[in-house]
Amino acid sequence: MAKISIIGTGFVADLYMRSLETYPHIKILKVFDQNPARLSMFTKFWNLTPASSIEELVSPANPEDRPDLILNLTNPGAHYAVSKQCLEAGRNVYSEKPLATKMEDAFDLYDIATKRGLIITSAPCSYLSEVAQTLWLAIRQQQIGTPLLVYAELDDDFITQAPYKKWLSESGAPWPYEDEFKVGCTLEHAGYYLTWLMMIFGSVKKVVAASAELVKNKIPNTEITTPDFSTATLFFESGMVARITCGIVAPHNHSLRVIGDKGILEINESWNNIAKVKIRKRFVVRRKLVNSLFARRFKIKGKTHPKVPRRGAAAMNFALGPAEVLSAIAAGHSTTHLAEFALHLNEVTLAIQNALDSTGVQLMQTRCPTLKPMPWAK
């Protein structure tokens, strides 16, 4: 059995619970939330043991009760302090995204973890999913020749006009709209494609981004100036170029297109672990260049990973990341690359988010490690 504990039992914690059900070898020791009403609701619904404080959860009197990994599912503004407290108590941490809202805090977490031989890494983990791994395999097999350009869209529709006050998680947590608007869609969502692109194309060298706040006064009498739209062009060390857009104004579009010199790879939804990967070829008919009307599906043969059905906006297994970290711990493998991956993700995401304040071109200080495909995706 692998042992975990959870801090933060809000909206996303329910999605983790359904995902963790697909990994019966992962046992949840204790859970904690600073909101006692929410903690009680969650522990009753899922039949879990509450802790009375973070200290009790990270440093239990009995060594048998020490978790192998702590999931930090608190709000982004609390990630740094909570992860730091866990690391300082000698615990490994898997944090929801972002790793930290300031880059200096992300570096601090990385330093504490590496000095102590601990793990710090962050969500999203959908790059470990069937769809992302299938895309990578198609690229490695040169199904579209040499990839040159990516268009990645993470538009979520006009969210401020959606009935978001009615959105509840399975055990009754309200969707935290105020925090979502304050944190902003870029910090919340860019990682859903950035992780895939970093895994496939490596380090981003340069970010040229712009962001804006388009819908003012999202919540009356609440000062929010976070961008609700961003667009960035990413220049990878490998020469690849990608354009990524995040927003909560334009109609829903979570598509990805990888354009190669021999065709195009297409995906229509990043939040579906089993979305189809399609290859569209281009050819010449007489004097015309034509992109085929039919796109062929590219599939991995055999079993991939445990799936969870759609809940709300996503059909994603949120436990893929924690399960990967726990298996690395059990095998005694180094996990420094996971910390480096999270650090680079954080830097690129912040560069896009903070483009409002930037002069345009931002050069990255961190680098992305080389990752290996999942064993079932070779």
Per CB under 6 A, residues contacting ligand NAD are 7-13, 32-35, 38, 73-76, 78, 82, 96-97, 173, 175-176, 179, 188
CB-wise, 265 or 314, nearer to ligand NAD?
314
State the minimum distance, in angstroms, from the CB of residue 81 to ligand NAD.
6
**Neighbouring C-beta atoms of residue 215, cutoff 10 Å:** 15
Who's near 333: CB < 8 A, 6+ residues apart? none
Amino acid at 165: K
Place of tokens 């690849």: 240
State the minimum distance, in angstroms, from the CB of residue 263 to ligand NAD.
32
Collapsing DSSP states into helix, strand and coil, what is residue 298?
A: strand
CB-wise, 176 or 369, nearer to ligand NAD?
176
Q: Are 148 and 261 in contact (CB under 8 A)?
A: yes
Who's near 366: CB < 8 A, 6+ residues apart? 203, 340, 343, 344, 347
CB-wise, 106 or 300, nearer to ligand NAD?
106
Please state, in angstroms and rounded to a whole number, the distance separating the CA atoms of residues 221 and 204: 39
CB-wise, 39 or 198, nearer to ligand NAD?
39
Please state, in angstroms and rounded to a whole number, the distance separating the CA atoms of residues 307 and 139: 23
State the minimum distance, in angstroms, from the CB of residue 177 to ligand NAD.
10
Q: Which residue is nearest to ligand NAD (CB)?
A: 10
State the minimum distance, in angstroms, from the CB of residue 98 to ligand NAD.
7
State the minimum distance, in angstroms, from the CB of residue 82 to ligand NAD.
5
CB-wise, 143 or 273, nearer to ligand NAD?
273
Phi and psi at residue 143, to the nearest 5°: -65, -25
CB-wise, 101 or 143, nearer to ligand NAD?
101
* Two structure tokens written together for 136: 């990578």
Element (H, E) at 78: helix 76-88
CB-wise, 55 or 111, nearer to ligand NAD?
55
State the minimum distance, in angstroms, from the CB of residue 238 to ligand NAD.
29
Tell me which residue of 283, 284, 277, 280 sits closest to 293, measured CA to CA: 280
Amino acid at 348: V
Place of tokens 């080389």: 370
Element (H, E) at 265: strand 263-267
CB-wise, 76 or 321, nearer to ligand NAD?
76
State the minimum distance, in angstroms, from the CB of residue 6 to ligand NAD.
10
Please state, in angstroms and rounded to a whole number, the distance separating the CA atoms of residues 205 and 100: 21
State the minimum distance, in angstroms, from the CB of residue 167 to ligand NAD.
9
Q: Are 187 and 248 in contact (CB under 8 A)?
A: no
CB-wise, 124 or 147, nearer to ligand NAD?
124
State the minimum distance, in angstroms, from the CB of residue 351 to ligand NAD.
18
Please state, in angstroms and rounded to a whole number, the distance separating the CA atoms of residues 121 and 57: 19
